Amino acid sequence: MNIPSTEKHEILLETHDLVRHFVGPRTSLFGKRRVAHAVNGVSLQLRKGETLGLVGESGCAKSTLGLLILNLLQPTSGTVTFLGKDVTNLDKKEWRRMRSEMQLVFQNPLGALNPRLTIGSQIREPLDIHDVGEPESRHDKVLEMIESVSLPEHLLERYPHQLSGGQQQRVVIARALINRPKLVVCDESVSALDVSVQAQVINLLVDLQKKLGLTYLFITHDLSIVRHISSRIAVMYLGRIVELADSEDLLENPMHPYTKALIAAVPVPDPRARKSRATISGEPPSPFNLPAGCAFNARCPHADEKCRTELPEFRQTSEEHMVACHHAEKLA
Amino acid sequence: MTKPLISVKDLSVHFRTDEGLVTAVENVTFDIAPGEILGLVGESGSGKSVTAKALMLLNPDNAVYDPKSSITLNLGEEQVDVLSLRPKERLVIRGGAISMIFQEPMASFAPAISIGDQMVEQLLIHSDMNKARATEMSIEMLARVGIPDAAQRFRQYAFEFSGGMRQRAMIAMAIACEPKLLIADEPTTALDVTIQAQILELLSDLKKDLGMALILITHDLGVIAEAADDVAVMYAGRIVEEAPVLDLFDNPLHHYTKGLLNSLPRVDRKVERLSAIAGAAPPPHEFVEGCRFEPRCGHCSDNCTGVRPEFHRVSATRRVACIHPVTAP
């Protein structure tokens, strides 16, 4: 597999041919167990300081990939290399030290916060667990953190249910960042928020990235958000990356027919831009039953015999553009 | 001007709660013409679903409709005063003249009854068809909304359908009795974008074919721009602005509408930095009498405090509830 030249960029994390299967229930009492092929060989690199947007529809295993990258889920095969070490094979002690370098921000902040602890103690908890600095100095760190997520200090004494959704998500972000991680995986982190609050949290994430030199893996189904926040975008379909490029390049010159259909389907907030957006029909196939050849062939308007039999290689078409389609050049 | 299909006047809905009476919707007024698509847009808690459910009297038992409220449905000769319908008379609106589809189709189907039986059941209630004709009609409807192998799918259960197919089945069920008005409450929010595009296209085709009016409730201004004719923007229980869709996006009058439009990330162009509206919408128990957007508004004056901005007409087609509306650029 060709991997783009990376001399210019410092690599923070790299996955190599990650595969993850889930074993389903038996089809009958003595029947076989079905296997869901969730992640089917993903190799990608996260560059230091970048935001890599990971987009795809529900069921394409973008969240599973996020969990594999954070080593919260063991891969069936493949490796994840973070700061030069294979995190899937670390001993407990080493992993514990490394774990605070990578953090996760979920979609639903209320589900991620402990309802019975005050905001202040939840933001402080990672400092206590990893025994960072003198206990007396930790409160100052909490104060500094809550200020950088633009929350008033008096909220420290409150409980999660007393805060609005946007405030809760700021608390989750503060807690994730207090140990100064290098990598943050944001899994649909702003999807549950109302539009006006969503913009605030997106701006906050952008500001914090600049200030703290963070690297984001930003997982979302929303292409508009991803265009705004990402430096590069990876498009996922049924457990594989089908296209990866610079965000402007990907949105202006998409090469994979799925990427094109996905972009066309997003409604634009401009009534003068009305057009038919349903350019592909049908729904993604089931991960229990992967089709032969390209996973997109049943929905693709350009599919031919080759697409139905031969898995397209994820290949480089220009320095910063990778695509997995037999006919990418012809369709561009 | 044609006679509106439905007229909502001064609709206020309160809920009895342990903390006393909480107002969710206040003085909501709008008309829908036959065949029109009205987009009802607002953030969570703005009262859009409560408003829609009031049209079918579907709010829970602790809802109290203010005595000044009125909802009038014009069915040709007959005028129905929706809020005064007694429980037995409500079939006229529920599944009859008005039908509704929801965000989560799984929760709208009975899990242990086949899709077909549920469709037949409502046809038997609302029409004088016999069972054989109702079956035939239901299969026809499933095929009409683009479900392949409709005769087979007819016998299946909701869990055997994918999300997109389930939403199609729910639409088939909702239009089977040929309603005059279809209320779609976040019909595509739970769906993937490629499926959302298919469903929006289906809804707009059906509207054209059947001539029904549609209320499209959503938080997504992209969906509104795509589908609506007229738009009502709700904020904290009130309609703050109403306008034809082109006018609303070209020239929003309320500062909230303008703020919302400016805060959107766009797939069609690069935005350097989002201009977010500071703060958050108040929850219903903190609703004030005056302008509820004032604490977040950059254009308010002393006159805004404590004074309720009248929802006034600024042109034949536009109304706004702001005493310092956005001036034309």
3-state secondary structure of A117: coil
Report which residue type is found at A60: C
Contact with chain B for residue A73, Cβ under 8 A: no
DSSP 8-state secondary structure symbol assigned to residue A157: G
Render pLDDT for A279-331 as a digit per residue (tens, 0 to 9). Answer: 888 888 888 889 999 999 999 999 999 999 999 999 999 999 999 999 999 88
pLDDT at B172: 94
Q: Mutation target for B interface from A230, A266, A274, A279: give the one with most B CBs within 10 A.
A: A266
pLDDT at B233: 97
Cβ contacts (< 8 Å) between B220 and chain A: which residues? Answer: 267
Domain boundaries in chain A?
Answer: 11-49+56-96+225-331
pLDDT at B328: 64
Task: Tell me the C-alpha distance between A18 and A33, whole Å.
Answer: 22
Superfamily, domain A11-49+56-96+225-331: P-loop containing nucleotide triphosphate hydrolases (3.40.50.300)
Task: Read off the pLDDT band of B81 (50, 70, 90).
Answer: very high
Contact with chain B for residue A252, Cβ under 8 A: no
Render pLDDT for A210-259 as a digit per residue (tens, 0 to 9). Answer: 999 999 999 999 999 999 999 999 999 999 999 999 999 999 999 999 99
Report which residue type is found at B263: S
Look up tokens 């409980």; give the residue.
A159
CB contact under 8 A, A227 and B277: no
Render pLDDT for A42-60 as a digit per residue (tens, 0 to 9). Answer: 999 999 999 999 999 888 9
Confidence (pTM): 0.89
For B:178-217, CB contacts with A below 8 A are 192-198, 200-201
Task: Tell me the C-alpha distance between A279 and A57, whole Å.
Answer: 15
Render pLDDT for B84-126 as a digit per residue (tens, 0 to 9). Answer: 999 888 988 888 899 999 888 888 899 999 999 999 999 998 8
Task: Tell me the C-alpha distance between A69 and A219, whole Å.
Answer: 12
Report the pLDDT averaged over residues B271-297. Answer: 91
Neighbouring C-alpha atoms within 13 Å toward the C-beta of A154: 1
Contact with chain A for residue B276, Cβ under 8 A: yes
Interface predicted TM-score (ipTM) over 0.95: no
Q: What are phi and psi of A61, to 5 degrees?
A: 80, 25
CB contact under 8 A, B270 and A265: no
Cβ contacts (< 8 Å) between B283 and chain A: which residues? Answer: 164
Report the pLDDT averaged over residues B182-200. Answer: 91
Contact with chain A for residue B225, Cβ under 8 A: yes
> Number of Cβ pairs closer than 8 Å across A and B?
140
| DSSP-derived secondary structure for A206-258 | HHHHHHHT-EEEEEES-HHHHHHH-SEEEEEETTEEEEEEEHHHHHHS--SHH
Contact A274, B225 (CB under 8 A): yes
Tokens of A48: 């230091």
Contact B72, B249 (CB under 8 A): no
Task: Read off the pLDDT band of B225 (50, 70, 90).
Answer: very high
Task: Tell me the C-alpha distance between B309 and A197, whole Å.
Answer: 24
Q: What is the 3-state secondary structure (H, E, C) of chain B?
A: CCCCCEEEEEEEEEEEECCEEEEEEEEEEEEECCCCEEEEECCCCCCHHHHHHHHCCCCCCCEEECCCCEEEEEECCEEEEHHHCCHHHHHHCECCCEEEECCCHHHHCCCCCCHHHHHHHHHHHHCCCCHHHHHHHHHHHHHHCCCCCHHHHCCCCHHHCCHHHHHHHHHHHHHCCCCCEEEEECCCCCCCHHHHHHHHHHHHHHHHHHCCEEEEEECCHHHHHHHCCEEEEEECCEEEEEEEHHHHHHCCCCHHHHHHHHCCCCCCCCCCCCCCCCCCCCCHHHCCCCCCCHHHCCCCCHHHCCCCCCCEECCCCCEECCCCCCCCC
Task: Read off the pLDDT band of B329 (50, 70, 90).
Answer: low
